[in-house]
Amino acid sequence: MSTTMKATANRLAPITWMPGKTLVARLMELQAIRNERRRLAAMDAAQLADVGISAREALAESKRAAWDAPERWLR
């Protein structure tokens, strides 16, 4: 894989909690999670159906704390 492809792949990867990250980087990740959950809470029924989740699931996810990220985001 070329360096360019690696850089592109890294930008698309889920948020990770790597041991060497700075405090600013970690805070930016928390803000990104918070923003994503706010956008999820603002989706209408048609948008939620497109992503395959119910309004109840979206509401539950949007109420979670930013540091309570799904396991798949922590890889």
Residue 54 · residue 48 · CB < 8 Å: yes
Residues in the chain: 75
Read off the pLDDT of residues 9-40 as tens digits, 9 standing for 90 and up.
444 445 555 567 788 988 888 899 999 999 99
State how far the alpha carbon of 65 is from the alpha carbons of 6, 34, 42, 74, in Å: 31, 8, 17, 15
* CA–CA distance, 40 with 4 (Å, rounded to integer): 31
pLDDT class of 62 with cuts at 50, 70, 90: very high
Two tokens, residue 16: 């990770």
pTM, full prediction = 0.62
